[in-house]
């Protein structure tokens, strides 16, 4: 489909390229969510994050989310880019972009995509602190 772009990459994500791809003459607006690596978790300094993906399934789950978005909202294009590998504080692990004729659909879809991605896409992050490393959400 040329209205969906899904990329899982070990290289830096290109925000400008995402904006260019998502814009179209039919759109009345675009909505973009850019995730960034925060420097602390619950008051503890984070040194870096490592992202690991089960790549074929991660791609297929992201494709499902994009399809669910089109089934639920009148949107024109959907873009999901996600990083793998080691990211430093301030770097970008995820970009979601949505274009639509009207802003309500774009806002709602963008939120749906990032929220669902965090629940279903097989990608894991490990936080590195000064005193050790922890897989996020693994333990209760």
What residues make contact with other proteins under the rule CB under 8 A? 35, 51-54, 56-58, 60, 82, 93-94, 114, 117-126, 135-140
Q: Which is nearer to other proteins, 52 or 108 (CB)?
A: 52
Q: Whole-number minimum distance, CB 134 to other proteins, in Å?
A: 9
CB of 27 or CB of 107, closer to other proteins: 107
SS3 state at 89: coil
The pair phi, psi for residue 95, each rounded to 5°, is -130, 125
Q: How far is the CB of 82 from other proteins (least distance, A)?
A: 6
**Closer residue to other proteins, CB minimum distance, 4 or 23:** 4
Work out the burial of residue 139: count CB atoms within 10 Å of its CB; fewer than 13 is exposed, 13-18 middle, 19 or more buried.
exposed
Cα(83)–Cα(96) distance, integer angstroms: 12
């Amino acid at each position: 489909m040329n209205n969906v772009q899904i990329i899982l990459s070990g290289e830096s994500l290109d925000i400008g390229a995402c904006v260019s791809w998502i814009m179209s003459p039919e759109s009345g607006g675009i909505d973009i969510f850019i995730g960034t690596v925060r420097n602390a978790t619950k008051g503890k300094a984070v040194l870096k994050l490592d992202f690991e993906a089960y790549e074929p399934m991660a791609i297929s789950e992201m494709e499902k989310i994009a399809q669910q978005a089109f089934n639920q909202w009148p949107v024109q294009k959907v873009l999901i880019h996600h990083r793998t590998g080691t990211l430093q504080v301030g770097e970008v692990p995820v970009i979601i972009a949505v274009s639509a004729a009207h802003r309500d659909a774009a806002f709602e879809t963008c939120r749906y995509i990032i929220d669902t991605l965090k629940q279903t896409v097989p990608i894991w992050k490990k936080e590195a602190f000064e005193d050790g490393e922890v897989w996020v959400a693994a333990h209760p």
